[in-house]
Amino acid sequence: MRFSVSAVDGDARLAQLGFARGAVDTPAFMPVGTLGTVKAMTPEELAHCGAQMILGNTFHLMLRPGCEVVRAHGTLHDFMHWPRPILTDSGGFQVWSLAGLRKDREAGVTFKSPVDGAEVFLGPEESIAVQHALGSDVAMVFDECTRWPAGEGEARRSMERSLRWAVRCKAAHGAHPAALFGIIQGGMFPHLRHASLAGLAAAGFDGYAIGGLSVGEPKGDMQKILRAIAPSMPAGKPRYLMGVGSPEDILFAVACGVDLFDCVLPTRNARNGWLFTARGDVKIRNARHRTDTAPLDADCACGTCRNYSRAYLSHLYRCNEILAARLGTLHNLFFYQRLMKEIRAAIAAGCYKKFAADFCAARAG
């Protein structure tokens, strides 16, 4: 992996990631392909939306279809017919979410599979082995996602365990050609976040991620942590904010110096009839859209907005037609990728602060 910053505007950065499978312009948003598919989309449609890199899920792919099936095709790229870069998460967040079904210890986590109830063990070495089998371009260290709310003592213990696991992940990764990113933890305590970053930087990783946000904390707490830690992350390495978020969250984080994002929000919201536009969000099932012959967003060039009315979309959603999820997802992902393109253009032009303020004001109405 190569990384170079070409322009800055305040703390916002315009950069490029280079991989054997292609370049990724940052700031970038990675659609989430949990089970080897970004729900409702073909890889060709993802590329048409502007996606340059997607995220795969170690936990879910390990359970279904299993590494052997993916490896028989070559890599996850071959399995799902996506030729561009893939980042795989470590499975730590999914294991954390299995409250009551897991047993944590220093070696790793034993949990009951949500697929068939079988007992499964996942630790740092196992997570790295799965990510190698998937052939990801960027692998993530196995970490413990600190719950919210957590007191300082609990957050410190969790953060320190994540650091120990990160060192084990690096040893297991060895000289593998994929990039390996460390994950900063520490809950809502800036001094713990800085201690986590210092420990990861001392070990040395190809990039650094901020984990443990958007887990239920107030928006102000998330912004406090981003302000405190993002500008302190190594300037010559990519900075990744995991699992965040809304367009407004992304704009705030870019202003703090973040380069990479992923979130299920655009795809999950699309399946539920919540569609993003530059003038605010549209809940397409609402009664006022039933007879509206206008497009969802007159300024959007996606196939959904060019070809279908709000009334037709409302009809599809009300009838639970499969096409509703496809057209809604196509639009939301196009919206996110267009936003990232506009963010990059604003940084290059040196007007990012004004762009972000105008964008948020237009969406707020």
Q: How far apart are CA 254 and CA 26, in angstroms?
A: 10
User: What end-to-end distance do the CA atoms of the chain give, in Å?
Assistant: 41
| Beta pairing class for 260-262 and 274-275 | unpaired
Contact 90, 127 (CB under 8 A): yes
Alpha helices by DSSP H, listed for the chain, are 43-49, 58-63, 67-73, 76-80, 92-96, 124-134, 152-173, 190-203, 219-229, 247-255, 265-271, 303-307, 310-318, 322-349, 352-364
Distances in Å between the Cα of 314 and the Cα atoms of 39, 318, 319 are: 20, 6, 9
User: Helices 322-349 and 352-364 sit at what angle, rounded to 10 degrees?
Assistant: 150
Phi/psi of residue 179, each to 5°?
Answer: -70, 150
Catalytic residues: 89, 262
CA–CA separation, 299 vs 176, rounded Å?
A: 45
**175 CB-contact burial (10 Å; exposed 0-12 / middle 13-18 / buried 19+):** exposed
C-alpha to C-alpha distances, 157 to 165, 196, 221, 222, nearest whole angstrom: 12, 11, 20, 20
